Amino acid sequence: MDGKSYCVRLSNVSKSFQTARGKLFAIKELSSTIGYGIITGVVGPDGSGKSTLLRLLSGMYVPDSGQIEVLGLSPIEHKEALSAQLGYMPQNFGLYEDLTVEENLRLHADLYCLPKNEREKRFRELLAMSGLSQFMKRLAGSLSGGMKQKLALSSVLLSSPKLLLLDEPTVGVDPLSRRELWKILFDLVKDRGLSVLISTSYLEEARYCHDILLLDKGEKLVQGSPSYLEENAKGIVLLIHSEKMDSKELLLNVSSDPSVIDHSFEGKYIRILLQKDKKDTFLKENEKFGIVAIPGERKIADCVLSFYPQKQQPALSSSKEEVALKEKRKERSLEKIIVVEKLSRFFGKFEAVKKISFSVNLGEIFGILGPNGAGKSTTFRMLCGLLPPSEGKVSVSGFDLRTSPASARSRIGYVSQKFSLYTNLSVYQNLLFFSRAYDLSGEKQKRRIASVIEEYELGSVLDMDAGRIPLGFQKRLAIACATLHDPDILFLDEPTSGMDPQSRREFWIRMIRLSRRHTTLLITTHYLEEAEYCDRLVIISRGKILIEGSPQEIKKPFQTEDNPTPTIEDAFIGLIEKSREEN
């Protein structure tokens, strides 16, 4: 360690990129040190510079100015010597999906020039650590998201690095797999003294880190241990509800208050993170809503969020067109808009979905949760009409998907997990293309395009290529395109994956508004705290429904004396572990 207490040192480092609008700084005059033998978390919203920082440390990028030292070496001047001591796992790690687990490991062993007499021992150690031993002959493309990340991490560890750089390794991974990945990292630090630098968009994961570096627009906001952030946090938590309106209506009314940093649901309450000195002002300005407030417990995610400059949440009002649509659909509010009966799907002899049944009411926010490989995506694709069922019936907006697929699909909008619009077209050109695809023309076309531009705040990026706008804007654009024709049902597959917390907050406010217009929303998500926004949900494992009900109904069986207020994550993990034990 050369007698130094740090493995990384940055002194006034800047990195910029030339764009059509001029020079953009991804990292700006950043100074920091990263300690040996600990897990350091890099946290920040979209565009904060997390990925750029890791690429600078790996030597992939050259800084405009400043000094970088990694393990006592310069990433630019000593790139080859450093690469032998560094393990770098980018967001899209290069697994070969048409090769088996074993073949991927052997290929990366060749790339790292691992001596042949050491390989079998290293393979056994890494496979035992990752739990992949029984999947040696399985194609990497057939692995679940969590298993792919474990294979990628195992491949990086073949070189026995001293420093591990991980760029958002838990994005799109279910809670159980996330927990298993973190356990692997803890063991690596404890048993091997490995140093780990990890970026994450799951703020609650900050509690697993020994040190946390908060970035915003390429600049350091603060750096310290979780306890340091808790001691210096700038926010307080209130649990509120109203005696005059339901929770979602209350949330729509208070979410644009400038003192609100963040919000979520916690049972019957809305959980509000407020600026520390604004509690009395908030309660006074919103007393007309009949708010009852009690103190809430502050979490590490609240502490992290409290350091960020607050983006004002727009006050959202309804147009005459939206009011008319809401009244029209209100007449059908008790209608079961989706009915699923004994739905199954086989891939060869493998039964991915096993005779599941449920129904969804008009205007509900309905969640489908489950671990990677549980059958969620397969179920989702059958409900959208993208995949024919092997057995059973699906009725969507009164149309049978088997006999009237085109009529059913005309009533739905679909947003896939991966950005699937035209990246080489501008934002406006995408809106124009999809409006025509939905047979919109004339004044109605102009009115609907103008409406979604305003609703999803796309005005500032209309002329930019869709592939070049930030992730949060891409998600907004995808939803805007999917709702141009005012569908009865909107399917959203992992819509907030990779989004920063502020973008997720805006997303859910918009989704609540849509549901208030009696648009039905079907959502899958790995952010389990977001399940609290759902009216009802199902949890699926191994192709079967384990439980169905409201968030409160699903959490109730897991109440204990030690845990009187369980979370959705507590219920999820309990159900999945019980299911695995039974199987």
Q: List, for residues 407-418, the tens digit of each pLDDT value.
A: 777 888 998 877
Helix (H, G, I), strand (E, B), or coil: what is residue 209? coil
Nearest-angstrom CA–CA distance, 80 and 93: 20
**Could you tell me if 524 and 493 are in contact, meaning their C-beta atoms sit under 8 angstroms apart?**
yes
pLDDT at 543: 92
Q: What is the mean pLDDT of residues 211-230?
A: 94
CATH 3.40.50.300 for the 6-228 domain, yes or no: yes
HEC-encoded secondary structure of 326-393 = HHHHHCCCCCEEEEEEEEEEEECCEEEEEEEEEEEECCCEEEEECCCCCCHHHHHHHHHCCCCCCEEE
Please determine, for residue 12, whether its predicted confidence score (pLDDT) is greater than 80: yes
| DSSP of 393-446 | EEEETTEETTT-HHHHHTTEEEE-SS--S-TTSBHHHHHHHHHHHTT--HHHHH
Q: Please check whether residue 29 is in contact with residue 92, taking contact to mean a CB–CB distance below 8 angstroms.
A: no
Q: With CA atoms as reference, report the closest residue to 7 among 30, 34, 40.
A: 34
Q: H helices of 131-246, where?
A: 145-157, 175-192, 226-231
User: Which CATH number is 233-305's, of 3.90.25, 3.30.70, 1.10.3470, 2.60.40?
Assistant: 3.30.70
| Predicted structure pTM score | 0.80
Residues 6+ apart with CB under 8 A from 393: 339, 340, 341, 342, 343, 400, 402
Tokens of 42: 């890099």
Indicate if the pLDDT at residue 552 is higher than 60: yes
Q: Identify the residue whose tokens are 């007698």.
A: 3
pLDDT surpassing 50 at residue 329: no
- Same CATH topology for 233-305 and 320-411+487-582: the answer is no
Confidence at residue 529, expressed as pLDDT on a 0 to 100 scale: 85
What are the tens digits of pLDDT across the range 454-511? Answer: 888 888 889 889 988 877 788 889 999 999 999 999 999 888 876 777 778 888 998 9
Task: Report pLDDT digits (tens) over 419-455.
Answer: 788 989 999 999 999 999 989 999 999 999 999 998 8
Q: How high is the pLDDT of residue 328?
A: 53
Domain boundaries, the chain: 6-228, 233-305, 320-411+487-582, 422-486
Distance of alpha carbon 207 from alpha carbon 204, whole angstroms: 6
pLDDT band of 21, cuts 50, 70, 90 = low
563-577: per-residue pLDDT in tens?
888 889 899 989 988
CATH of 320-411+487-582, one of 2.40.30.110, 3.90.1140.10, 3.90.700.10, 3.40.50.300: 3.40.50.300
Please list the residues that pair with 340 across neighbouring strands.
Answer: 358, 394
* Those residues with Cβ within 8 angstroms of residue 444's Cβ, 6 or more apart along the chain or in another chain: none
Q: How big is the CA angle at 94 (ends 91 and 95), to the nearest 5 degrees?
A: 110
Please list, residue by residue across 367-395, b when 16 or more beta carbons sit within 10 angstroms of its beta carbon and e when fewer do.
Answer: bbbbbbbbbbbbbbbbbbbebebeebebb
Please tell me which residue, 245 or 410, carries the higher pLDDT value.
245
Give the pLDDT confidence score for residue 267 in this predicted structure.
81
Q: How far is it, in rounded angstroms, from Cα 443 to Cα 439?
A: 12
Averaged pLDDT score across all residues of the chain: 88
Q: Measure the CA–CA gap between 23 and 5, rounded to whole angstroms.
A: 35
Q: Which amino acid is at 78?
A: H
Angle, to 10 degrees, between the axis of helix 427-437 and the axis of helix 471-482? 20
356 forms bridges with which residues in the sheet? 343
38-47 mean pLDDT: 88
